[in-house]
């Protein structure tokens, strides 16, 4: 099969890498890709928003399967457009992608079908939102309704911070139209768990769980990012918790989407909070492979990824069972100075050849200059993947590689996967 991956980040690099392990793949293309992906496959300089150009390219290259990575084109209906042109596409249509595109829609869905999540209220008026937060216990969580590249969520620890956040989002519109409506919800205590699940209508095949690290600094301090590192599996979380999450959250959500006339076909990502009593609750849903969760989940998948993707597209997922390696995967994100706030682009990246001797490197925000120099081109620059028989071994590999990398002002968390070393539930 000829396969086309849409996107340009670390998630897409991991997808291309995983697809390259399939004996059934003839050629892989990526649009637009990045310098790391270009070392593996042919990249086409087509924007993810240019659906017509993507369709034309897919037809020219006789693409048998298109895999959509990022959330924005899914929310904008890329699957509907490509399917209307006779292309086979892995990903939810626009109606189903609203489970990520609108946090208000998602929360209302969970409430309607009695799926566990945090208590919440929604607002379009700043005055009503301010009145509400002044009556709630702190900390409190404020979420912009729409897509915001991982920056639409604030955990406000003081009333002043909550009020300022609402002003920035709803009045100043600092994240654009995404903040025209907000969800304000209770702060949940516990540890996060990410479950990626292949979904074909009501059939769900959950991947091995991972744990993301959203805040920028060690110890979960500082503002939220798109994710500063992940690991899988989660040895400190019991298998019964994962099973309960699938039974009480993922499967009911898939059935709810069918009942709403929006059957989900693609990768449904559940961001969960595991409360101190071991109960999973929904933080968020994404309508695509998570980034950077994909970077630790796919390297552990022993089932041919192409078989799974085709089964979803063809409505045959019930015939698939996923097999997993026992190896531990730890991914550390190397970010630009200043991220997640304003950051520079164009800083020289050095030491990757040496780093590659220790770990697998996924490019997230990189670019090539005219002279061939590799430079930064995003907030999250690289995902450094260590693999081993234990958490300690995988962490050691990852951090040995990170220490080889040289970027002016680079930042990374030094505590990725340390939660796995302490019993939880």
How many Cβ atoms sit within 10 Å of the Cβ of residue 95? 16
Residue 142 pLDDT exceeds 80: yes
pLDDT for the residue 265? 98
Extract the tokens encoding 266. Answer: 């693609």
Residue 219 binned pLDDT confidence (cut-offs 50, 70, 90):
very high
pLDDT for the residue 212? 97
Domains in the chain and their CATH numbers? 2-91 (3.40.50.20), 125-180 (3.30.1490.20), 191-319 (3.30.470.20), 328-421 (3.90.600.10)
Q: Tell me what the mean pLDDT of segment 89-93 comes to.
A: 98
Residue 17 pLDDT exceeds 80: yes
Share of the chain above pLDDT 90, in %: 95
Residue 424 binned pLDDT confidence (cut-offs 50, 70, 90):
confident
Inter-CA distances, 41 with 30, 273, 333, Å:
7, 37, 23
- Whether residue 366 contacts residue 346, with contact meaning beta carbons closer than 8 Å, is answered with no
pLDDT for the residue 425? 63
Specify the 3-state DSSP secondary structure of 42: strand
How does pLDDT run across 403-420, given as a tens digit for each residue?
999 999 999 999 999 999
How does pLDDT run across 183-192, given as a tens digit for each residue?
999 999 999 9
Which stretch of DSSP H or E encloses residue 211? strand 211-212
pLDDT for the residue 224? 87
Residue 76 pLDDT exceeds 70: yes
Residue 139 binned pLDDT confidence (cut-offs 50, 70, 90):
very high
Residue 49 pLDDT exceeds 70: yes
How does pLDDT run across 277-328, given as a tens digit for each residue?
899 999 999 999 999 999 999 999 999 999 999 999 999 999 999 999 999 9
pLDDT for the residue 366? 98
d(CA 161, CA 45): 41
Q: Tell me what the mean pLDDT of segment 71-85 comes to.
A: 98
How many Cβ atoms sit within 10 Å of the Cβ of residue 172? 10
d(CA 306, CA 325): 17
Angle among Cα 232, 73, 78 to the nearest 5 degrees reads: 115
Average of per-residue pLDDT values in the chain: 96
Greater model confidence, 195 or 149:
195
Residue 144 binned pLDDT confidence (cut-offs 50, 70, 90):
very high
Query: Within the chain, how many helices (H) and strands (E) appear?
Result: 15, 22
């Amino acid at each position: 099969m000829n396969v086309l991956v849409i996107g340009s980040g670390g998630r897409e690099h991991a997808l291309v890498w995983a697809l390259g392990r399939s004996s059934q793949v003839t050629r892989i293309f990526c649009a637009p890709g990045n310098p790391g992906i270009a070392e593996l496959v042919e990249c086409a300089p087509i924007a993810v928003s240019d659906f017509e150009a993507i369709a034309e390219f897919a037809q020219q290259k006789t693409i048998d399967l298109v895999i959509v990575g990022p959330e924005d084109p899914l929310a904008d209906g890329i699957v509907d457009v490509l399917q209307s042109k006779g292309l086979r596409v892995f990903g939810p249509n626009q109606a189903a992608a609203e489970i990520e595109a609108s946090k208000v829609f998602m929360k209302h869905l969970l409430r309607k079908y009695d799926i566990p999540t945090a208590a919440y209220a929604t607002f379009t008026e700043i005055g009503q939102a301010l009145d509400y937060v002044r009556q709630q216990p702190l900390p409190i969580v404020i979420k912009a309704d729409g897509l915001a590249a991982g920056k639409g969520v604030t955990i406000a620890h003081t009333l002043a911070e909550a009020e300022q956040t609402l002003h920035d989002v709803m009045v100043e519109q600092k994240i654009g139209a995404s903040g025209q409506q907000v969800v304000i919800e209770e702060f949940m205590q516990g540890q996060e768990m990410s479950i990626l699940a292949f979904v074909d209508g009501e059939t769900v095949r959950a991947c091995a769980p991972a744990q993301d690290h959203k805040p920028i600094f060690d110890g979960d301090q500082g503002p939220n990012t798109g994710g500063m590192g992940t690991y899988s599996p989660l040895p400190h979380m019991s298998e019964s918790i994962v099973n309960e999450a699938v039974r009480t959250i993922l499967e009911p959500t898939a059935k709810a989407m069918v009942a709403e006339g929006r059957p989900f076909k693609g990768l449904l990502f559940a961001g969960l909070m595991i409360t101190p009593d071991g109960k999973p609750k929904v933080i968020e849903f994404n309508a695509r492979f998570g980034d950077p969760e994909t970077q630790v989940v796919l390297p552990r998948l022993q089932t041919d990824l192409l078989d799974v993707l085709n089964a979803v597209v063809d409505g045959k997922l019930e015939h698939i069972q996923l097999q997993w390696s026992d190896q531990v995967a730890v991914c550390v994100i190397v970010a630009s100075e200043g991220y997640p706030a304003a950051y520079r682009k164009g800083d020289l990246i050095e030491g990757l050849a040496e780093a590659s001797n220790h770990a697998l490197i996924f490019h997230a925000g990189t670019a090539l200059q005219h002279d061939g120099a590799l430079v930064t081109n995003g907030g999250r620059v690289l995902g450094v993947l260590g693999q081993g028989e234990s958490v300690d071994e995988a962490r050691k590999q990852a951090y040995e590689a990170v220490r080889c990398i040289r970027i002016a002002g680079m930042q990374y968390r030094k505590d990725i996967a340390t939660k796995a070393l302490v019993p939880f539930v």
